[in-house]
Amino acid sequence: MFPAPIQDARPLGRFGYAAAVPIVLVIWLLPLLAIALTSIRSLEDLSRGNYWGWPDRIMAVHNYRAVFTSSPMGRYLLNSIMITVPAVVGTLALSSMAGYALAKFRFRGNLALFAIFIGGNFVPFQVLMIPVRDLMIHVVPLYDTIWALVVFHMAFQTGFCTLFMRNFMRELPDALAEAARLDGVSELRIFWHVVLPLVRPALAALAVLVFTFIWNDYFWALVLVQSDSARPVTAGLQALSGMWLASWQLMSAGALIAAAPSVLLFFLMQRHFVTGLTLGATKG
């Protein structure tokens, strides 16, 4: 087996491994730990410079409530959900259909189209800032609405997702769709009843990935919206920074709240990440 399992290493190697794992883990998690601690400190505690010690008072309930009372955090969260959910659903719907067509249908220009999808992924998104903003203001009047972000994210994420789905679907045996075709099943139903159930792991993985991308987006939230009614939580965190004094404890609490949905989704989707779904389709 390669690499050799660590259990088979010499004692010194095993010891080094056992020692290194916690160290790396702590370094890795330290920032997160700091934020979590900060989010339950009091402002005085912070102004005294106690960044790493135990908080003098646990202000968890107070701080987390303040996040919602001192800023339109509830609104921002709702906006984020209203942007992210439709964008993710739309992206997955479009990319799985486009991916299927590119993977399984022979038509002129298939490869060229696929190349464009790949190429699109290499366009740095900063380049798009001015044109997309202009487009949203002058051509499709969506500027400063939730739909501006939904439409943009959908368009932007579909490129990578199509590439991913196409490559995943290419591995499905042609004979599955052919067998259904011989039975007179329509292409749409083949897609729905045969193809989609078999790419569920890919869809779940993409769902988490794309959800996290869109949910965490800050750049486009600044470029495409400016009013509270459409602002997602990432851009909204600014509102917590405080008028005169930086309220680090509130910003930390807000950041953790903003990060929670992605983590939650990951655990919810985990049971779908099973591979080997096509097991038993063929000789095996």
Partner 1 sequence: MSDVQLSHIAKRFGDHAVIHDLDLHVAPGEFCVFVGPSGCGKSTLLRMIAGLEKISDGTLSIGGRDMTRVPPANRGIAMVFQSYALYPHMTVAENISFGLRMSDMPKAEIERRVARVADTLELTPLLKRRPSQLSGGQRQRVAIGRAMVREPVVFLFDEPLSNLDAALRLQTRVEILRLHRQLGATMIYVTHDQVEAMTMADKIVVLSAGRIEQVGTPLELYHRPDNLFVAGFLGSPRMNFLRATLVPDGEAVSVRLAGGGSLVFDLPGTPHGEATLGIRPEHLRLLRSGEKGAGLVLSATVDLAEHLGAETILHLTASDGTALLLRTEGLARETIGDAVQVLVVPEACHLFAPDGRTLLNGSQG
- Contacting positions for partner 1 (CB under 8 A): 173, 175-176, 178-186, 189, 193-194, 197-198, 277-284
Between 32 and 179, CB nearer to partner 1: 179
**Residue (130 or 281) nearer to partner 1, CB:** 281
In the complex, what is the shortest distance from the CB of residue 162 to partner 1, in angstroms, rounded to a whole number?
A: 23
Rounded CA gap, 220 and 149, in Å? Answer: 7
- For residue 99, the minimal CB distance to partner 1 (Å) is 19
Angle at alpha carbon of residue 268, lines to 266 and 270, rounded to 5°? 65
Of the pair 65, 189, the CB lying nearest partner 1 is at 189
Minimum distance from residue 255 beta carbon to partner 1 (Å) = 40
Neighbouring C-beta atoms of residue 48, cutoff 10 Å:
12
Residue 49 region, left (φ>0) first, then alpha (ψ -120 to 50), else beta?
left
Nearest approach, Cβ of 235 to partner 1 (angstroms)? 41
At its nearest, how many Å lie between partner 1 and the CB of residue 167?
A: 19
What CA–CA distance (Å, rounded) separates 218 from 149? Answer: 11
Collapse the DSSP code of 273 into the 3-class scheme (helix H, G, I; strand E, B; otherwise coil) and give the result. Answer: coil
Which of 212-230 are b and which e, b meaning 16 or more Cβ less than 10 Å from the residue's Cβ? bbbbbbeebbebbbeeeeb
Backbone angles phi, psi at 207, to 5 degrees: -55, -45
Closest CA to 275 of 211, 218, 214, 199: 199
Query: Which one, 65 or 193, has the nearer CB to partner 1?
Result: 193
Measured from the CB atom, the residue of 35 and 176 that comes closer to partner 1 is: 176
- Between 92 and 177, CB nearer to partner 1: 177
Distance (Å) of CA 121 to CA 27, 97, 114, 133, 156: 32, 18, 11, 19, 8
Q: C-beta of 180: minimal distance to partner 1 in Å?
A: 7
